[in-house]
Chain A
Amino acid sequence: DAGVIQSPRHEVTEMGQEVTLRCKPISGHDYLFWYRQTMMRGLELLIYFNNNVPIDDSGMPEDRFSAKMPNASFSTLKIQPSEPRDSAVYFCASSFGTGQRAFFGQGTRLTVV
């Protein structure tokens, strides 16, 4: 298995633009997590899905952020409109079952100018 695949690896966009980050979890994994990492706040959980259903989105910073998982092999995190403070590395991770190790993708480094 190729592991968790995220795209794009890097994204530079202008303030106000829509940004879509993509994730393909490991096949067979039933949990998918979106994290954001910054120097100031570390690794923060934004939202997670179980069997494609959003379970907890309490970490989503505001309504500008939305996430979907239309099927077991694909998820998106959308920011609309983007702001400079959204600049961070966004990680997607997946796991099989609860309490199990999560495997991380390589991350998307987002820069909003």
Chain B
Amino acid sequence: QKEVEQNSGPLSVPEGAIASLNCTYSDRGSQSFFWYRQYSGKSPELIMFIYSNGDKEDGRFTAQLNKASQYVSLLIRDSQPSDSATYLCAGMNTGFQKLVFGTGTRLLVSP
């Protein structure tokens, strides 16, 4: 079992809709979580991080963390075609100081 699991998708949503991306993790020692966006042929870039249970909002993006359920999500409001990319969820165990990535979910936003 991978430490961080994501549905590979693709997740298809129409322009303007809310895209919901989900991630589960197995290591209860994981303390912080990161969402990276990766366009095809490019490197991952950080878009959100979250340390505490609950919601964290940044513009059109909201990250949600539920440590009891070991569940992380990313909501993208008013989805745009430019949001079409692969979204990588990553967890960090502060004891080991390293990021462990899921395999990513491909998001397709249609005009």
Contact = CB atoms under 8 A, between A and B. Distances in A.
B44 A43 contact: yes
A102 B102 contact: no
Contacts of A55: 97
B1 interface: no
Contact of B31 (A35, A41, A99, A106): A99
Contact of B101 (A42, A98, A106, A107): A42
Interface stretch (B13-21, B59-67, B69-77, B88-96): B88-96
Given A43-B44, A55-B97, A56-B96, A101 B49 contact: yes
B97 A43 contact: no
Determine chain A's interface SS by DSSP, over half rule: strand
Given A91-B43, A104-B43, A98 B102 contact: no
Interface residues of B, number: 22
A98 B97 contact: yes
Determine chain B's interface SS by DSSP, over half rule: strand
A31 B98 CA distance: 9
Contacts of B42: 106
A6 to B, nearest CB: 9
B34 A41 contact: no
B82 to A, nearest CB: 20
B98 A56 contact: yes
Contacts of B96: 56
Given A31-B97, A43-B101, A48-B98, A102 B88 contact: no
Contacts of B97: 31, 48, 50, 55, 98-99
